[in-house]
Amino acid sequence: MPTIKDVASRAGVAISTVSAVINRSAPVSEEVIQRVEEAIAAIGYLPHGAAKALRSGDSRLIGLILPDITNPFFSTVARVIETVCMRAGYMTFVYNTDEDIDHEMRILKMMRAQRVAGLVLISTRSDAEHGRRLMSEINVPTVLFSSSVPATPYDAVTLDEAMASRIAIEHLAALGHRRIGVLTGRPNVSTHEERLEACVETMRAHGIEPSGDLIVAANFDQAQAFGATKALLALPEPPSAIFAFSNLMMIGMMRAVVASGLSCPRDISLVGIGDFEWPEIMNPQMTVVSMPAAEMAERSIEILLAEIASKRAPTGRRTMFEPRLIIRESTAAPRLSLPA
């Protein structure tokens, strides 16, 4: 591959002059610019990214760490971030953690080895201990996405998680449901904790005493949600509605309802957090709490790029977005309401 040296000698100028015209970092005469650009085109020169990064100390690389790109929510996040980064002259590394904390740390290490200029991190845990580990492993501007980690100075972009639970439970309560099942995520994850707390609060506010039997952790996982839903449905007194904390768990619920020979919403109402791109092809069309994925992604990368550009310390601010309840077909009044 040709180097800047080849360009220089072909154009009959010094290496530093070529650099100046490429980066427009110093005044160069029109005539020399011409010659250099011709030389570049003629030999097909492309600056060597690693050499540039090494010398300038700026990798122009950004890392995105998320649970699973296969999840449509995360893939749209990735697309948005990639697009914005490219426009700003950054390339992106996208890596999957599979919600495995050790793997997350391993990926963080790889990113650090690449000297990424910044990180958007959808972390798998959000307790203080993990926060400390993160702090020791991360030495670049970082924004947390869809989770907030205490004891940590990073900016965060999240949903208003409490509101998400509240509008879902209120919808169900308004329909007349009293026995409401909840498929939650996993302890030490802020989305889990905050949504769960708001669920309980909202139920109590509506005179429903949350029952431990009906609130089950399903790890944000489709298969676990399937199993948990079947178990819930097999209870002597099954819930008349179930609320799930993720889009994948919603799918698990629906599969379980089908597999149990029941029908939604006739036998059971279903709501979840996270929308689907083509609701009309689903059976039934799901009532969901939808989150503005693209807007959130855009905001997070904007915050990150601003922090990188300004070289300012993070503010530790949390930017929240509002979820929206979309009522479709999967929720209805309970079939027969038992006397309270």
Partner DNA sequence: TGTATTACTCGAAACGTTTCGTGCAAGCGC
Partner DNA sequence: GCGCTTGCACGAAACGTTTCGAGTAATACA
Chain positions contacting DNA, by CB under 7 A: 1, 3-5, 12-17, 19-20, 22-23, 25-32, 45-48, 51-52, 54-57
Q: How far is the CB of 265 from its own copies (least distance, A)?
A: 14
Q: How far is the CB of 82 from its own copies (least distance, A)?
A: 7
Binding its own copies (rule: CB under 8 A), the pick from 15, 29, 42, 49 is: 49
What are phi and psi for residue 74, nearest 5 degrees? -75, -30
* Residue (of 247, 195, 244) closest to 67 by Cα position: 247
Does 41 help bind its own copies (rule: CB under 8 A)? Answer: no
Contacts (CB under 8 A) with its own copies, residues 94-113: 94-96, 109-110, 112-113
Q: How far is the CB of 60 from DNA (least distance, A)?
A: 10
Binding its own copies (rule: CB under 8 A), the pick from 51, 151, 205, 306 is: 51
Give which of DNA, its own copies, none residue 5 binds (C-beta under 5 to 8 Å, depending on kind): DNA
Give which of its own copies, DNA, none residue 45 binds (C-beta under 5 to 8 Å, depending on kind): DNA
- Rounded to a whole number, what is the largest CA-CA distance in the chain? 92
Give which of DNA, its own copies, none residue 28 binds (C-beta under 5 to 8 Å, depending on kind): DNA
Give which of DNA, its own copies, none residue 114 binds (C-beta under 5 to 8 Å, depending on kind): its own copies
* Residue (of 99, 249, 275) closest to 181 by Cα position: 249
Q: How far is the CB of 197 from its own copies (least distance, A)?
A: 30
Part of the chain binding its own copies (CB under 8 A), chosen from 50-58, 191-199, 298-306, 312-320: 50-58
Sequence-ordered list of residues with C-beta below 8 angstroms from that of 52, at least 6 positions apart, any chain: 58, 60
Number of residues located near its own copies, criterion CB under 8 A? 46
Contacts (CB under 8 A) with its own copies, residues 285-314: none
Binding its own copies (rule: CB under 8 A), the pick from 30, 207, 209, 278 is: 278
What are phi and psi for residue 218, nearest 5 degrees? -125, 15
Q: How far is the CB of 18 from its own copies (least distance, A)?
A: 15
CA 311 to CA 305: how far, in whole Å? 10
Give the Å distances, CA to CA, from 284 to 30, 161, 169, 253.
66, 25, 20, 12
CB–CB of 183/196 below 8 Å?
no
Sequence-ordered list of residues with C-beta below 8 angstroms from that of 60, at least 6 positions apart, any chain: 49, 52, 53, 89, 90, 91, 117
CA 125 to CA 143: how far, in whole Å? 15
In the bound state with its own copies, the residue whose beta carbon lies nearer, of 82 and 193, is 82
Give the Å distances, CA to CA, from 251 to 54, 242, 279.
47, 12, 12
Binding its own copies (rule: CB under 8 A), the pick from 254, 273, 296, 303 is: 254
Contacts (CB under 8 A) with its own copies, residues 117-156: 136, 139
* Residue (of 313, 258, 306) closest to 282 by Cα position: 258
Burial classification of residue 274, based on how many CB atoms lie within 10 Å of its CB (0-12 exposed, 13-18 middle, 19 or more buried):
buried
* Residue (of 289, 301, 248) closest to 119 by Cα position: 301
Q: Which residues pair with 93 in a beta bridge?
A: 63
- Which H or E run includes 292? none
Does 82 help bind its own copies (rule: CB under 8 A)? Answer: yes
In the bound state with DNA, the residue whose beta carbon lies nearer, of 28 and 297, is 28
Q: Which residues bind its own copies (CB under 8 A)?
A: 1, 44, 46-51, 53-54, 59, 68-70, 72, 75-76, 78-79, 82, 86, 91-96, 109-110, 112-115, 136, 139, 222, 251, 254-255, 258, 278, 280-284
